[in-house]
Structure 1
Amino acid sequence: MKITYPHMGSLNMILKTMFEGINIEVVEPPPVTNKTLSIGVKYSPEFACLPYKINLGNFIEALEKGADTIIMLGGVGPCRFGYYGQVQKETLIDLGYDFKMIILDPPHGRLIDFLKELSGYFPGVYWKDALKAFIFAVQKMIAADNLEKHLLILRAHEDKIGVTTKIYEKYVEGLKYAKNKKELDYIYREGVEKIKQNANVKRDIQLKIALVGEIYLMLEPFSNMDICKSLNELGIEVTKTDYLSDYLINSAFKLPQKLEFKRYVHGYLERDIGGHGLNTVANTVKYAEKNYDGIIQIFPFTCTPEIVAESIIAKISNDKNIPVMSLSYDEKTGEAGYQTRLEAFKDLLERQKINALK
């Protein structure tokens, strides 16, 4: 068996660690590039969203590298994501690929049952080895997410643009190949310290933006044109409101996050609208109340839950007196135009902050 999966932020690191920990050969999909997207667009329905097209491109590139098994999440609900795996499977069969597709529903509070279902596809794997590999993969995921959280604040204060990104990439690669928890902790601590050493620029007007929206675009830099990097290089501190660890923990265990979200969305949204629409609305209120300077919503073009959320957060913007900008992405999105919008949004936030200080 040679297993592969789609890219989504640090997901590659996590699944590689977990599967290699139970002696399953992994075929990593190549990093997402314009070639990946072009392949996905060529074989996707026209109105499929950007994550679908990139995922399909991931699968085709990995199958061409020798993968024979694809693992993908499924599910049901208003978001079309739950149907991706099945539709992609049929497309790949029509293209003549010979492979096995494993489609798993998210845990939804039943982690043990999820792991049992997953282990059923890998006969002969000892459950203690599987649990050990899973725990170490989760530890890597948390370390990678925490390192990025430091990056998105400290890179806004770097002396020389680009240096902090190179430091971060070096230590993320180190996390990926860490062999044990001790080595993982050492690499993480050293990575944070190296990033801090480069954060020397202090600003009279320091802007903070919260990034909300659909989780794939939140996690996969290629899909959002690396918006966090662009904002940091404009001197803006960024808080991403969703990470892979958040998604896993809140899916694996029935934690009270939704109760917290329901408190924030009261008066704006009375039910879950699918996808990450509820998260988007709740986090907009949450970070507006934390006195952030602005909110940016990112989502795939045609994403229905986020389109509904977009109209709601426009009202929140007015009620909470916080500027909000919504950006949708597809394969035709141009980087230059988006950069201009980010710069204009920064100018707006600076003027508002200066006026508030008068």
Structure 2
Amino acid sequence: MKITYPHMGSLNMILKTMFEGIGVEVIEPPPTTNKTLSLGVRNSHEFACLPFKINVGNFIEALDKGADTIIMLGGIGPCRFGYYGHVQKEILKDLGYNFNMIIIDPPHGRLIDFLKELSSYFPNVDGKTALKSFLFAVKKMLAADKLEKFLLKHRAHEDRRGITTKIYEEYMKKLDKAQNGKEVDKIVADAMKKIKENANVYRKVQLRVALVGEIYMLLEPFTNMDVSKALNELGVEVTKTEYLSDYLINSAFKLPQRLEFKKNGKGYLERDIGGHGLNTVANTIKYAKLNYDGVIHILPFTCTPEIVAQGIIAKISRDYNIPVMSLVYDENTGQAGYQTRLEAFVDLLYRRRVNAV
């Protein structure tokens, strides 16, 4: 078996750690590029969302490298994500690829059953080895998320543009290669210390922006044109509201955040509409109450849950007097235009803060 999967933030590192830990050969999909996007667009339906198209491109490139098994999450509900694996499988089969597709539904409060289902595809793997590998992968995931949260706050204060990103990327490579928990802890501690040493610019007006929206678009820098980095380089501290660790914990343990989301969304949206639509609405209200300077809504073109949320958060923006900007992405999105919009939005936030003093 030569297994592969789609890119999504640090997912590649986490799944590679888990599968290599149980002795399964991993074929990493090449880093997502314009070539990946082109392959996905060419072989997907025109109105499929951007994450779907990039997944298809990831799979084609990985299959061309020799992968013979694809693992993908499934699901049910209003969001089309539940159909991804099945439709992608048919597309790739029609293209002439010979492979196995493993589609597993998210835990949704049944973590033990989820792990049993996953392990059934690897019958020759010892249960103790599998659990050890899974827990180490989770530790790396938590470490990667902790390091990114630290980066998004401190990179806005760097002395020299680019130095903090370079440090972060250097230590993420070390994290990828880490072989045990102590090594992971040391890497994270060293990275945070080094980032802090190079991020000590004092700003009289310090802006804070929360990023809300669809999880894939928030986690995968290629798809959102690395909006977090662009904001940091404009001197803005960034808070991302979705991380892999949040998704796993909430899915594994009966979605504990759902109660918080419904509470925060009271009066605007109090039920799940699929995808991360409820999260988007609730998080917009949460960070408005925390007096953030602004919210940026990230979504792929044609994403129904996020389109519904987009209309609701426009009302939240008026009610809470907080600027909200939506960035909608597809394969035709241009970097220059979005950078101009970000700069204008940050200028608006700065002027509001100065005038409020």
**1:308 equivalent in alignment to 2:303:** no
Superposed displacement of residue 239, structure 1? 0.2
Q: Deviations over 1:69-90 (max 9, x none)?
A: 0000011111101001000000
- Does the aligned pair in 1 maintain the 2:157–2:201 contact within 8 Å? yes
| Whole-angstrom distance in 1 between the partners of 2:212 and 2:4 | 29
Q: Partner residue of 1:211?
A: 211
Q: Partner residue of 2:162?
A: 162
Per the alignment, in what secondary structure is the counterpart of residue 91 of structure 2? helix
Q: Partner residue of 2:128?
A: 128
AA in 2 matched with 1:207: L
Runs of 4+ in 1 over 3 A off after TM superposition: none
| Whole-angstrom distance in 2 between the partners of 1:283 and 1:242 | 10
Superposed displacement of residue 256, structure 1? 2.5
Per the alignment, in what secondary structure is the counterpart of residue 3 of structure 1? strand
Map 1:59-138 to 2 at 5 A. 59-138=59-138
Superposed displacement of residue 270, structure 1? 3.0
AA in 1 matched with 2:199: A
| Whole-angstrom distance in 2 between the partners of 1:171 and 1:159 | 19
Per the alignment, in what secondary structure is the counterpart of residue 154 of structure 2? helix
Q: Partner residue of 2:38?
A: 38
| Whole-angstrom distance in 2 between the partners of 1:256 and 1:212 | 19
AA in 2 matched with 1:145: D
| Whole-angstrom distance in 1 between the partners of 2:17 and 2:147 | 18
- Does the aligned pair in 1 maintain the 2:294–2:322 contact within 8 Å? yes
Q: Which runs of 5+ in 1 are unaligned?
A: none
AA in 2 matched with 1:336: A
Superposed displacement of residue 355, structure 1? 1.3
| Whole-angstrom distance in 2 between the partners of 1:224 and 1:203 | 27
| Whole-angstrom distance in 2 between the partners of 1:227 and 1:30 | 22
Q: Partner residue of 2:196?
A: 196
AA in 2 matched with 1:40: G
Superposed displacement of residue 356, structure 1? 1.1
Per the alignment, in what secondary structure is the counterpart of residue 208 of structure 1? strand
| Whole-angstrom distance in 1 between the partners of 2:79 and 2:92 | 22
Q: Partner residue of 2:292?
A: 292
| Whole-angstrom distance in 2 between the partners of 1:32 and 1:251 | 26
- Does the aligned pair in 1 maintain the 2:2–2:68 contact within 8 Å? yes
Q: Deviations over 1:229-258 (max 9, x none)?
A: 000000000000010000011011125211
Q: Partner residue of 1:56?
A: 56
**1:22 equivalent in alignment to 2:22:** yes
Task: Report the more deviating stretch, 15-24 or 249-258.
Answer: 249-258
| Whole-angstrom distance in 2 between the partners of 1:79 and 1:259 | 20
**1:187 equivalent in alignment to 2:192:** no
- Does the aligned pair in 1 maintain the 2:270–2:278 contact within 8 Å? no
TM-score, normalised to structure 1, is 0.99
Per the alignment, in what secondary structure is the counterpart of residue 340 of structure 2? helix
Map 1:222-241 to 2 at 5 A. 222-241=222-241
* Residue correspondences, number: 357
Q: Deviations over 1:155-207 (max 9, x none)?
A: 00001111110100000111111000011111110011111111121111110
Identity %: 75
Q: Give the aligned CA root-mean-square deviation in angstroms.
A: 0.6
**1:8 equivalent in alignment to 2:18:** no
Q: Which runs of 5+ in 2 are unaligned?
A: none
Q: Partner residue of 1:338?
A: 338
Q: Partner residue of 2:253?
A: 253
| Whole-angstrom distance in 2 between the partners of 1:104 and 1:170 | 33
**1:280 equivalent in alignment to 2:280:** yes
| Whole-angstrom distance in 2 between the partners of 1:153 and 1:67 | 38
TM-score, normalised to structure 2, is 0.99
Superposed displacement of residue 67, structure 1? 0.3
Q: Partner residue of 1:271?
A: 271
Q: Deviations over 1:268-314 (max 9, x none)?
A: 01321110000000000000000100000000000000000000000
AA in 2 matched with 1:199: A
